[in-house]
Amino acid sequence: MTKIGIILGSTRPGRNGEAVAKWVLELASQRTDAEFELVDLLDYKLPHLDEAIPPSMAQYTQPHTIEWAAKIASFDGFVMVTPEYNHSTSGALKNAIDFLFAEWNNKAVGFVGYGSVGGARAIESLRLVVGELMMADVRAAVTLSLATDFVNYSQFTPGAHQAAALSTVLDQVVAWSTALAPVRAASVSA
């Protein structure tokens, strides 16, 4: 069964992302075409990147990196839930991505963003990053506006249309994750 990690990309106290990620997991868990798991960056306590050797060499020395690598390696694809800070993603999510290389390769990724313009700029900046990691980012995305999908910019109340947008993202992530399985298998055996 295809395994998709839903990465909660904010570690900020009082973060809106927790409610968003739980909503993604709730809707995703109703599907039968993949298994879904919430991956909260808070659970990994990653410091600023502290590996001396570049991640592309896969010579991790820090216990937190080894744990993070094992978790990411266990998935076939991802949905990244990202806030938008200063026209980009959170530093915590970018740092978590930068810790690894091969564990991301040949996997699909979709995005659920939230912010003043729905997290659209954070999603666009992440598309550049994941391309370098040989990930296949899907076209569809969910963009949640703090003005219309949250009450008082803090209580998550997504518009009804957002469930359909999420369904499209999940359809694409599962399809591409499945399609890339032979590529991942070939890279492991090479």
The pLDDT value given to residue 190:
62
Q: Count CB atoms within 10 A of the CB of residue 130.
A: 19
| Number of domains the chain is built from | 1
Residue 41 CB contacts under 8 Å (≥ 6 apart), including other chains? 7, 8, 9, 10, 11, 92, 93, 96
CB distance 172 to 140 below 8 Å:
yes
Would you tell me how many other CB atoms lie within 10 Å of the CB of residue 151? 9
> Could you give the CA distance from residue 132 to residue 105 in angstroms, rounded to a whole number?
9
Q: Which domain holds residue 100?
A: 3-189
Handedness of CA 171, 176, 181, 182 (dihedral sign): positive
Q: Do the Cβ atoms of 156 and 23 come closer than 8 Å?
A: yes
pTM of this structure: 0.97
CB 3 within 8 A of CB 78: no
CATH number, residue 120: 3.40.50.360
What does the pLDDT profile of the chain (190 residues) look like in tens digits? Answer: 999 999 999 999 999 999 999 999 999 999 999 999 999 999 999 999 999 999 999 999 999 999 999 999 999 999 999 999 999 999 999 999 999 999 999 999 999 999 999 999 999 999 999 999 999 999 999 999 999 999 999 999 999 999 999 999 999 999 999 999 999 999 876 6
Q: Is the dihedral of CA 114, 68, 109, 102 positive or negative?
A: positive
* pLDDT for 189: 66
Residue 169's H or E segment, with its range, is: helix 161-179
Other C-beta atoms lying within 10 Å of the C-beta of residue 148: 12
Q: What is the pLDDT of residue 83?
A: 98
| Per-residue confidence (pLDDT) for residue 187, from 0 to 100 | 83
